Amino acid sequence: STPDFSQSILASGRYVSHGILFDTDSDRLKPESAAVIQSIAKALTTDPNLKLLIEGHTDGVGNAAHNLDLSKRRAEASSAA
């Protein structure tokens, strides 16, 4: 299970999710990511003053430039969801 976004952000000012998932070498969100994204969206709706920095990551397989681009696209896909 993932930690509650609202409680984590209020307690520490940070929230790290391992529940936003992508297929290998893809920026397309997996359906099982929906619950985490909905939890974050609900908290943002409740407190519109919250500001987020969204980071996306890849594994270490492949070309570094490609992985950097993929990480950026994953962050954008997560924030657009």
Integer Cα distance of 1 and 23 in angstroms: 20
C-alpha 44 chain-centroid distance? 14
Q: Provide mean pLDDT across the span 10-22.
A: 85
- Cβ–Cβ < 8 Å for 78, 56: yes
Encode pLDDT of 19-78 as tens digits. Answer: 899 998 999 999 999 988 888 888 888 888 888 888 878 888 889 999 999 999 998 998
SS3 66: helix
b/e burial code for range 34-58 (CB count within 10 A of at least 16 → b): eebbebbeebbeeeeeeeeeeebeb
Query: Which pLDDT score, from 0 to 100, does residue 29 have?
Result: 93
